[in-house]
Amino acid sequence: MNIKDIRGKSAEELEGELQKLKKESFNLRFQKAGGQLENTARVRFVRRSIARILTVLNSKVKKA
């Protein structure tokens, strides 16, 4: 998900996407601990996507 897509979404949509990514991050951590994680780059992608969403949400809150 790129930043243009994130900025185009409403705050409610971003909250939903954030919850989805946090669940995925949780599952990826368990897979890593169990030695079942195949795509290690996905952890980095999810973590950065969460950071992007939080940044946009915080900027929308400051504007309001």
Domains in the chain (CATH in brackets) are 3-63 (1.10.287.310)
Kindly tell me the burial class for residue 3, based on how many C-beta atoms sit within 10 Å of its own C-beta (0-12, 13-18, 19 or more).
exposed
CB 50 within 8 A of CB 22: yes
Question: What span, in angstroms and rounded, lies between the C-alpha atoms of 17 and 8?
Answer: 13
DSSP 1-29: --HHHHHHS-HHHHHHHHHHHHHHHHHHH
pLDDT tens by residue, 22-48: 999 999 999 999 999 999 999 999 999
Q: Name the DSSP class of 40.
A: T
pLDDT tier at 18 (50, 70, 90 boundaries)?
Answer: very high
By percentage, how much of the chain surpasses pLDDT 90?
Answer: 92
Confidence grade of residue 1 (pLDDT, cut at 50, 70, 90): confident
